[in-house]
Amino acid sequence: MKILVCISSVPDTTAKINFTGDGKEFDKNGVQFVINPHDEFSLTRAVQLQETQGAKITVVTVGDASVEPVMRKALAIGADDAVRVNADARDHFFVATQIAKVAKDGGYDMILTGRESIDYNGGAVPGLVAGILDYGFVNGCVGLTVNGNSVEALREIDGGKETVSGDFPLVIAGQKGLVDETELRIPNMRGIMAARTKPLTVVEAEQTESKLKVVGYVKPPSRGNVTLINKDNVAELVRLLHEEAKVI
């Protein structure tokens, strides 16, 4: 079984987010980058399949050389090799096109992704990859069992969960719940040392048109000062909610 795991390099959730002076680009200065959390759940499930069923794992990322430390971490966690598409991940369709090309060339049985990246929260890439390749697609996956060439997946739906099954090749978009948080892997020294010698191949991007153009980024307004009101002063609370907060 060959598994392609798609990972994104995203800012740490504690990072302070800023944009360049013209507001059109993310300012990376002083920002620590990590594996996208949704992708990490999928990577961990792939490693479990590697351990139990001998799966071979390749990780793929679209980005410049700055994403390689995150890719090396994925290799230290247990991936066998990595592919970096040398291009700026400028929009969903572009990224999906690059991933689909790598997947098609590598003949992978299953493509595991996260449901979405936590920086842009678009959630479009997994479905686009499946559409481009004409593969079956399971989104919001919180449980995955592989038997031979067949897969049984549990996914979240509105108001409950649904179990679906399918045959390879498939695209699975995982999220929190695909593995328990206690099962997430922390690279040990042996894994870190091994990652240094594992293959990391750099390929050039497929030429494709960009479907989106960034007009600009705007940070949410800063929160105002907190007004404390005595719990017994209900009239003043109502007045402030009506006249200042304007929520009633």
Does a structural domain hold residue 229?
no
CATH number of the domain residue 183 falls in: 3.40.50.620
- Tens digit of each residue's pLDDT (9 = 90 or more) over 164-215: 999 999 999 999 999 999 999 999 999 999 999 999 999 999 988 888 888 8
Residues in CB range of 68: below 8 A, 6 or more apart: 84, 200
Higher-scoring residue by pLDDT: 217, 195: 195
Does a structural domain hold residue 111?
yes
Residues in CB range of 189: below 8 A, 6 or more apart: none
User: Which residue's structure tokens are 């995982």?
Assistant: 174
Does a structural domain hold residue 230?
no
Asked whether the predicted pLDDT for residue 111 surpasses 90, the reply is: yes
Structural domain boundaries, residue 207: 2-220
Residues in CB range of 55: below 8 A, 6 or more apart: 1, 2, 3, 46, 49
Does a structural domain hold residue 73?
yes
Does a structural domain hold residue 240?
no
Does a structural domain hold residue 89?
yes
Structure tokens at 177: 């719940």
Work out how many domains the chain is built from and give that number.
1
CA distance 97 to 68: 20
Asked whether the predicted pLDDT for residue 224 surpasses 80, the reply is: no
Does a structural domain hold residue 232?
no
Q: For residue 10, what pLDDT band results from cuts at 50, 70 and 90?
A: very high
Does a structural domain hold residue 207?
yes
User: Are 75 and 198 spatial neighbours (Cβ–Cβ below 8 Å)?
Assistant: yes
**CA-based nearest residue to 179, from 80, 43, 53, 68:** 43
